[in-house]
Every structure is written in C-alpha cells, then in structure tokens.
Structure 1
C-alpha cells in the first residue's frame, strides 16, 4: 500500500508570489494536510512558511486558506487533487 501524500494544487496570491523568485500563482505539491503543503512550499522557496504562519504555529491573521471552498487550518486534510487557495485578507474602514 502506498501512503505517500497525494498531489494537490495550491493557488497563491500575486503579492506573495512576487516575493519569491521562480514562484508561480499555481503550484502542485505533495501533501496530506495544509501544514504539509506549506512545508512543501517552504522547501522550494525558503521563508514562505514564515510569510504564511506565525510562531504558535498557526496561519497568520491576515492570511486566509480555503480548501474546497471552506476556511481551513493547518490540520485540515487535503484529498488527492484538492485545491488549496491562499488569500491575503483585506481590511478597510
């Protein structure tokens, strides 16, 4: 039996992509959870985890992650072929 993580598609915001040379808006990674997907991104582009997570560790306040249209946390499971969308929160007044 193969228990290796499945490939998932991660969609990143342009503002984040611009900080990491060679990064694109859509990235395929092997991951079983949101945390593993962020780890895979950080392995390719060191420093990405620090942009997405704080020291607790948790997803930063100004970052929203969605999987299957639902808000997700670091422990959220990713089904094979899932899409994980990372958005920067926008505030205004």
Structure 2
C-alpha cells in the first residue's frame, strides 16, 4: 500500500500521522486519507477540487503533473508526500 506523509508545517494544523493507504492514483490515495482526517482535504484542495496553489504533492520525490484530476499513478511501494509551499522573499 502507498504511504502518505504530511510535512510538519501542515501537520501542525491538521493531525494526520503517516498512513498506509489503498490507491492506484494520487486522487485515490488522497480520498482514502480524507477518511482518516477529513479536515486535511480543505488544506490540500481548493473549491474546484484542484491542489491549492501553495501546496505541493510529490510521489517518490517527483512533483505530480495532474494537479486537477490527481490522476498520477501510484504503485504499492510508493510514497506520496504533501508539503505547504513557502513563497515570498
């Protein structure tokens, strides 16, 4: 099962420890995560269901390509990571 981890700066707002979740796409893994931590969805997705502008999702250290449909493939041994991107200067 894919492993989902949330960066500490986001976890301080939503209690979501690392999870092993079923799913063959990023979207399936995230929908499974909402079952464990429903509040996480509002921090990750915007009102249209796309990944928020200042949130980054990675699979095995590679940024996902489909931020709207979340169709990037995830294998059972993969790690999905969610980070809150920092901007400014």
TM-score interval, normalised by the smaller of the two chains: 0.7 to 0.9
Structure with bigger gyration radius: 1
* Aligned residue-pair number: 85
Gaps spanning 5+ residues in structure 1: where?
1-6
RMSD: 1.4
Q: Which residue of 2 aligns with 1:3?
A: none
**Superposition map of 1:42-61 within 5 A:** 42-61=34-53
4+ runs of 1 displaced by more than 6 Å?
A: none
Q: Tell me by how many angstroms 1:68 deviates.
A: 2.5
Give the superposition deviation at 1:20.
Answer: 3.2
Worse overlay, 10-19 or 48-57: 10-19
Q: Is the 8 A contact 2:56 2:82 kept in 1?
A: yes
Which is bigger in relative contact order (C-alpha 8 A, separation at least 6)? Answer: 2
Give the match for residue 87 of structure 1.
83
Q: 1:14 aligns with which of 3, 8, 28?
A: 8
Superposition TM-score, scaled by structure 2 size: 0.84
State the alpha-carbon separation in 2 of the partners of residues 49 and 36 from structure 1. Answer: 13
